[in-house]
Amino acid sequence: MKNIDDVLQGIDGALDESIARLFELLRFPSVGTDPAFHGACRDAAAWLVRLLSGMGFQTRMDETTGQPVVVAEYAPKGVPSHAPRILFYGHYDVQPPDPLDLWESPPFEPQLRKGADGEARIFARGACDDKGQLMTFLEASRAWIKAKGGLPFHLTVLLEGDEEGDSTHLDRYVAKNRARLKPDIVFICDTGMWDARTPAITTRLRGCIAEEIVISGPSKDLHSGYYGGAARNPIRVLTKILGELHDRNGRVTLPGFYDGVDPVPASTRRQWKSLNFPEKKYLKAVGLSVPAGEKGYPVYEQIWSRPTAEINGIYSGYTGAGSKTVLPAEAMAKLTFRLVGRQTPAQIRKGLRAFVKARLPADCRVRYKSEGGDSMAATVAETSPWVRLAQEALTAEWGREPVLMAEGASIPVVGTFKSSLKVDSLLVGFGLEDDGAHSPNEKYNLTSFRKGTRSWARIIAGIAEQQERRKS
């Protein structure tokens, strides 16, 4: 590997300045979903524009239908036009800090505290998700440019402010700017490590679709004494339908649900098995002991490679104190489906509607509310040269082969890049399970920040090396 000691030394030598910059960013209460904080979002975006301009990027703030995006283009010196075009994506918005009383220090006043284990941790909302993570890439780029004079590729940095809210704002922006953005690969730093010592590359994400379903029956709420036993009760209809959503083996019973669910390649299955996924620990952490998913699959396959139907909320009738003998006029449930392989949101929606229709009794009507943010599953081929490059870089930095893992959650933007720009994403991140993203006392280990920055420097070095090889 190309000599990059100068870059790594630069990163370590300027670590305090890097932390100071991250702290500045963390001080903006950029809660994208709360209008009260939209000013703070704009301030955070403006700060990022200044930061990237100062690094020599051509930077602008672009309006969207939501929070502004920051777009920074880096025109490399002396790099041929065939050099790769990389889009780095991150988000500057954060989750609301509530409940505030559970925070040990104010969420927008970052603190660096050393724990009993000797590890220093940065505490703040967004410390990990995604300000700390996105800064690892920016700080690596800064150190590289300082040491080497310029990056070995074309780079566009795209930072949005609606990731925790309505992803359709960015979807529209990407669709409108398709031609300008079109890269060879997207780099994203918004995922986790396997554990505190083992880096990871995430090669699979499940897709997601959300639907609200409302069953209505009588024209008004009824007295269960006068009508109970003769009138259709929408809660009974809804619970009956939802109760049949899975068979006794935990398989989803919607027609056509499993179309496009490909078997996991034997090599991936072997690799996953070798990870010794800590099934018991994973369940015990949330008060459970027995896998409750599809029979015949280990827990990690249940969450990484199997699709699901889950009920996330249900509401109808009287739910206050005591009893009220009402038969409600309607009953509502919120569902989400996690998708894998080639499952499409349209296919799931069609299956759900056919399923409900087949079970809807006389005198009942149903309506659906699609919640938006549909996404297909995203898969990066484990044999992709980008994955290989990242594997080598991470191995060099952490002294361990990175785990090629999957994640049960969705990052809808990965689907957006895939469908809108026809391009894969390389998901490398340094978050840890105990970072508390979305929770009080969110933190990012100093090790994640420092070695994350160094990891990106090594990835940049890998690309530089490829360029060298091409040249020679």
Binding positions for its own copies, 271-300, rule CB under 8 A: 282-283, 286-294, 299
Sole binder of its own copies in the list 232, 269, 342, 353 (CB under 8 A): 232
CB of 220 to its own copies, least distance (A): 6
Give the helix/strand (H/E) hosting 425.
strand 425-428
Q: How far is the CB of 322 from its own copies (least distance, A)?
A: 6
Q: Which is nearer to its own copies, 231 or 275 (CB)?
A: 231
Q: Which is nearer to its own copies, 62 or 166 (CB)?
A: 166
Listed residue (457, 466, 384) closest to 425, CA to CA:
384
236 versus 349: smaller Cβ distance to its own copies: 236
CB of 40 to its own copies, least distance (A): 22
Q: Which of residues 357-396 bind its own copies (CB under 8 A)?
A: 361-363, 371-373
According to the binding rule CB under 8 A, does residue 239 interact with its own copies?
yes
For residue 450, state whether it binds its own copies (rule: CB under 8 A): no
What gap in Å lies between CA 294 and CA 298, rounded to an integer?
9
The reply on whether position 313 binds its own copies by CB under 8 A is yes
Whichever of 78 and 225 has its CB closer to its own copies, that residue is: 225
Pairing of strands 120-123, 443-445: antiparallel
Q: Which of 50, 178, 270, 324 binds its own copies (CB under 8 A)?
A: 324
Distance from the first to the final alpha carbon of the chain: 15
Least Å distance between CB 240 and its own copies? 4
C-beta of residue 257 within 8 angstroms of C-beta of residue 308 = no
> Pick from 86, 94, 143, 238: which binds its own copies (CB under 8 A)?
238
Map the footprint of its own copies across residues 393-412, applying CB under 8 A.
407-410
Q: Segment contacting its own copies (CB under 8 A): 65-73, 95-103, 316-324, 344-352?
A: 316-324
Q: Measuring CA to CA, how many Å separate 210 from each of 11, 296, 335? A: 43, 26, 6
Interface of this chain with its own copies, residues 160 to 189, rule: CB under 8 A = none
Contact flag: residue 312 with its own copies (CB under 8 A): yes
Four-point Cα dihedral 449, 453, 455, 457, nearest 10: 180
Q: Can you read off the two tokens belonging to residue 86?
A: 């990389």
Which residue type does 208 have?
A: C
Give residues 420-439 in contact with its own copies (rule: CB under 8 A). Answer: 438
Residue 249 in the binding site for its own copies (CB under 8 A) = no
CA distance 135 to 25: 9
Q: Which is nearer to its own copies, 99 or 243 (CB)?
A: 243
Picking from 301, 462, 281, 411, the residue whose alpha carbon sits closest to that of residue 293 is 301
- Contact call for residue 331 and its own copies (CB under 8 A): yes
| Total residues in contact with its own copies, by rule CB under 8 A | 82
- The 36-75 contact track toward its own copies, x by CB under 8 A, reads ----------------------------------------
Minimum CB distance to its own copies, residue 125 (Å): 17
Question: How many C-beta neighbours within 10 Å does residue 251 have?
Answer: 17
Please, where are the H alpha helices in 149-265?
Answer: 168-176, 178-181, 224-227, 234-243
Looking at the Cβ atoms of 233 and 268, the one nearer to its own copies is 233
Applying CB under 8 A, the span of 35-43, 73-81, 226-234, 443-451 interacting with its own copies comes to 226-234
| Contact by Cβ (8 Å): 425, 387 | no
Cβ at position 200, least distance to its own copies in Å: 14
- The answer to whether 11 and 137 are in contact (CB under 8 A) is no
Among 310, 401, 434, 468, binds its own copies (CB under 8 A): 310
Please report the DSSP string for 370-407 in residue order. E-S--B--EE--TT-HHHHHHHHHHHHHHSSPPEEEEE
Closest distance between its own copies and the C-beta of residue 334, in Å? 6
Do the Cβ atoms of 18 and 30 come closer than 8 Å?
no
3-class SS at 186? strand
Type and span of the H or E element at 133: helix 131-148
Smallest gap, in angstroms, from Cβ of residue 172 to its own copies? 17
Burial class (CB in 10 A: 0-12, 13-18, 19+), 181: buried
Least distance in Å: CB of 202 to its own copies? 12
